[in-house]
Amino acid sequence: MTFEGYRAFNDPYVYNGTSVLKNKLKTRDAAALTVFEIEMTAVRAAEPPPTGRFGPAHFRAVHRHLFQDVYSWAGHYRTVRTGKSGNWFCYPEHIPREMERVFGDLRRNEYLAGRSFGDFAHGAASFLADLNAIHPFRDGNGRAQLTFLGLATVKAGHSIDLGRIQPEEFLRAMILSFSGDVGALTRQIVSLRT
């Protein structure tokens, strides 16, 4: 897969001389990897997601579940510094601490249960914004976040339809959330309510 707009230095995750992530298909062809990743993650996404305690280990299990057929590092925190569009994500040496903080906040907020859907959506948007800024994995953060959002929604007593996501609008909302504006992301989550 190519990562236009991403920046990483001394990246052990890619094949030398390419921007293609090392993968289980062993292809150095970006288009072939994209197709392979889409197919494999779609198969895994159709399966029941891992259960857990809604903490960092559970989130890692979700990522591992989705990407286990594609990357050997699925479910493992990244070890390189990376960013996108001039914004750096959490440095790898801080990822474990920041993941504990974000999931600790979620736990202290009782997993957003017992709230109106609007309040839940705002809390979920703030959680996703923090999680996205950490960007714990080398790739696949967004898909893992959305899968986890689905699980967290059920745990909070609500329901959403992730199939309603408008990818470009959702991505724009995620980008805005990186600077602390979770309004658009909250509205995106509200639009998924069933």
Of all helices (H) and strands (E), which one includes residue 6? strand 6-8
pTM: 0.93
Q: DSSP letter string over 35-90? A: HHHHHHHHHHHTSPPPP--SSHHHHHHHHHHHHTTT-TTTTS---S-EEETTEEPP
- What superfamily in CATH does domain 6-190 come from? Fido-like domain (1.10.3290.10)
In this predicted model, what pLDDT tens digit does every residue of 81-133 receive, in sequence order? Answer: 999 888 899 999 999 999 999 999 999 999 999 999 999 999 999 999 999 99
Residue 147's pLDDT is: 97
In this predicted model, what pLDDT tens digit does every residue of 156-185 receive, in sequence order? Answer: 999 999 999 999 999 999 999 999 999 999
Q: What is the mean pLDDT of the chain?
A: 94
Dihedral, CA of residue 140, residue 138, residue 54 and residue 132, to nearest 10 = -80
Domain boundaries, the chain: 6-190
